[in-house]
Amino acid sequence: MSAPQWLDAWDPSDGAERAAASFRTRFGTEPDGIWSAPGRVNLIGEHTDYNGGLCLPINLPHRTYVALRRTFRSGPGGADVEEVRLASAQEPDAGVWSSTLADIGPGTVTGWPAYAAGVAWALRREVDTLGGFDAVVDSCVPYGAGLSSSAALECAFAVALDDAFHLDFGADDAGRAILAAACIRAENEIAGAPTGGMDQSSSLRATAGHALLLDCLDNSVRHVPFDLEASGLALLVVDTRAEHQLSDGQYAARRATCDAAAAQLGVVTLREVDPGALEEALAGLTDDVVTADVARRRVRHVVTEIARVTELVALLDAGRPGDIGPLLDASHISLRDDYEVSCVELDLVVESARAAGALGARMTGGGFGGSAIALVEVDRVGAVAAAVADAFAAQELTAPAFLVAHASDPASRTV
Ligand code: ADP
Ligand code: MG
The pLDDT tens digits of the residues spanning 174-217 come to 999 999 999 999 999 999 998 889 999 999 999 999 999 999 99
Q: Which residues contact 320 (CB under 8 A, 6 or more apart)?
A: none
CA–CA–CA angle 139, 140, 142 (5° rounding): 110
Residue 238: CA atoms inside 13 Å, Cβ hemisphere, count? 36
- So what's the pLDDT on residue 76? 84
Q: Are 131 and 165 in contact (CB under 8 A)?
A: yes
Q: Are 50 and 191 in contact (CB under 8 A)?
A: no
CA of 148 to the centre of ligand 2 (A): 4
Name the residue of 26, 140, 143, 245 to mutate for ligand 1: max ligand atoms within 8 A of Cβ: 143
The sign of the torsion formed by the CA atoms of 216, 139, 361, 241 equals: positive
Q: Is the pLDDT of residue 358 over 80?
A: yes
- So what's the pLDDT on residue 246? 65
Per-residue pLDDT of 284-296, as tens digits, reads 998 876 789 999 9
How many other CB atoms sit within 10 Å of the CB of residue 33? 18
How many other CB atoms sit within 10 Å of the CB of residue 413? 15
Question: What domains are there in the chain, each with its CATH number?
Answer: 5-225 (3.30.230.10), 229-405 (3.30.70.890)
Ligand 1 nearest atom to the CA of residue 142, by list position: 4
- So what's the pLDDT on residue 304? 98
Q: Is the pLDDT of residue 219 over 90?
A: yes
Instruction: Report d(CA 7, CA 62) in Å as an integer.
Output: 9
Instruction: Report d(CA 241, CA 311) in Å as an integer.
Output: 31
Per-position b or e across 284-312, b if 16+ CB within 10 A of its CB:
ebeeebbebebbbbbbbbbbebbbbbeeb
CA of 40 to the centre of ligand 2 (A): 10
Cβ < 6 Å from ligand 1: which residues?
64, 88, 90-91, 112, 115, 137, 139, 143-150, 153, 193
Per-position b or e across 243-254, b if 16+ CB within 10 A of its CB:
eeeebeebbeeb
Catalytically active residues, by annotation: 199
Ligand 1 nearest atom to the CA of residue 90, by list position: 24
The string of DSSP letters for 125-146 reads HH-S----EEEEEEE-SPTTSS
Name the residue of 149, 240, 244 to mutate for ligand 1: max ligand atoms within 8 A of Cβ: 149
- So what's the pLDDT on residue 289? 64
Q: Are 410 and 61 in contact (CB under 8 A)?
A: no
CA of 48 to the centre of ligand 1 (A): 22
- How big is the chain by its Cα radius of gyration, in Å? 22
Per-position b or e across 313-341, b if 16+ CB within 10 A of its CB:
bebbeeeebebbbebbbbbbebbbebbbb
SS3 215: strand
Residue 80 has what DSSP assignment?
A: B
- So what's the pLDDT on residue 102? 96
Per-residue pLDDT of 299-338, as tens digits, reads 999 999 999 999 999 999 999 999 999 999 999 999 999 9
> β-strands 57-70, 33-42: how paired?
antiparallel
Instruction: Report d(CA 267, CA 18) in Å as an integer.
Output: 50
Ligand 1 nearest atom to the CA of residue 64, by list position: 23
Name the residue of 36, 64, 139, 153 to mutate for ligand 1: max ligand atoms within 8 A of Cβ: 153
pLDDT above 70 coverage of the chain, percent: 99
Q: Are 171 and 204 in contact (CB under 8 A)?
A: no
Q: How confident is the model at residue 247 (pLDDT cuts 50, 70, 90)?
A: low
- So what's the pLDDT on residue 413? 98
CA of 266 to the centre of ligand 2 (A): 31
Instruction: Report d(CA 110, CA 399) in Å as an integer.
Output: 31
CA of 62 to the centre of ligand 2 (A): 14
Ligand 1 nearest atom to the CA of residue 195, by list position: 7
- So what's the pLDDT on residue 194? 85
Per-residue pLDDT of 58-81, as tens digits, reads 999 999 999 999 999 998 889 899
The alpha carbon torsion through 333, 339, 345, 346 (nearest 10 deg) reads: -50
Instruction: Report d(CA 398, CA 395) in Å as an integer.
Output: 9
